[in-house]
């Protein structure tokens, strides 16, 4: 069993974005009156930044346990995905910048290797029953988890969509159909 955590280095920019956004929102809210509609818009933004910070903190304290039986996330919320009961697998690449297809594929490859690219990341979504675990490519051993999940999907005869297959190819995960 391997216990994995998101490295602090991959969370620093998320913390900074959340703190900066929340701080600016609070300063603006203090400088305008409660009776203006703009106050409520800025309050909504402050709540969004607060949710962002809480999500980042949850990733910071979360632990992912990975072994031949399955994948477990803890401490909160506790979720368990057994490889033998995998219902769905999706691997997505999210780009933060508009760019050519060749550059997009290069950035996707770097994201799959766990490199923070400022222009995108990959997310693996696994579902088993009511439990769903999403992990980002900044988690150590991300490609190993994708490979094991792909093997489990093959064993369960789960259909994988074209995007998932292309992204698996990009990170070097091959599963014969």
- Give domain limits for the chain: 2-61, 65-170
Average pLDDT over the chain, rounded to an integer = 85
Distance between CA atoms of residues 25 and 102, nearest Å = 38
pLDDT band at residue 173 using 50, 70 and 90 as cut-offs: confident
Find out whether 96 and 82 touch, Cβ atoms under 8 Å. Answer: no
| Stretch 140-158: mean pLDDT | 90
Rounded mean pLDDT, 70-92: 88
pLDDT at 76: 74
pLDDT band per the 50, 70, 90 thresholds, residue 112: low
Confidence at residue 113, expressed as pLDDT on a 0 to 100 scale? 59
In this predicted structure, what is the pLDDT of residue 56? 92
CA distance 41 to 25: 10
pTM: 0.76
Distance CA 134, CA 91 (A): 10
Check whether 14 has a pLDDT greater than 70. yes
């Amino acid at each position: 069993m391997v216990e994995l955590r998101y490295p602090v280095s991959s969370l620093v920019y998320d913390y900074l974005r959340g703190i900066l956004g929340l701080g600016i929102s609070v300063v603006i809210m203090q400088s305008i009156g409660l009776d203006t509609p703009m106050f409520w818009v800025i309050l909504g933004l402050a709540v969004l930044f607060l949710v962002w910070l809480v999500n980042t903190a949850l990733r910071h304290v979360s632990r992912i346990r990975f072994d031949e039986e399955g994948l477990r996330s803890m401490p909160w919320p506790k979720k368990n995905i057994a490889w033998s009961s995998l219902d769905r697998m999706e691997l997505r690449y999210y780009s933060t910048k508009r760019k050519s297809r060749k550059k997009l594929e290069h950035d996707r490859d770097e994201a799959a290797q766990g490199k923070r690219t400022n222009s995108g990341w990959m997310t693996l979504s696994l579902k088993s029953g009511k439990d769903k675990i999403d992990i980002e490519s900044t988690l150590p051993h991300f490609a190993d988890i994708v490979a094991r999940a792909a093997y489990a999907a093959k064993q369960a005869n789960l259909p994988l969509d074209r995007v998932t297959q292309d992204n698996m190819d990009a990170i070097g995960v091959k599963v014969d159909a």
